[in-house]
Amino acid sequence: MDDLKQASRRRASFGATIKAVLWSFFGVRGKRGYEQDAARLNPLHVIVAGVIAAALFVLGLIVVVKLVVGQAAG
Dump pLDDT digits (tens) for 6-62: 655 667 788 888 888 888 888 877 778 778 877 888 889 999 999 999 999 999 999
Confidence (pLDDT) at 63 = 95
Look up the pTM and report it.
Answer: 0.70
Residue 53 CB-half CA count within 13 A: 18
Q: Provide the pLDDT confidence category of residue 68 given band limits of 50, 70 and 90.
A: very high
Confidence (pLDDT) at 24 = 83
Contact by Cβ (8 Å): 47, 17: no
CA distances from 67 to 10, 18, 63 (A): 42, 28, 6
Contact by Cβ (8 Å): 46, 20: yes
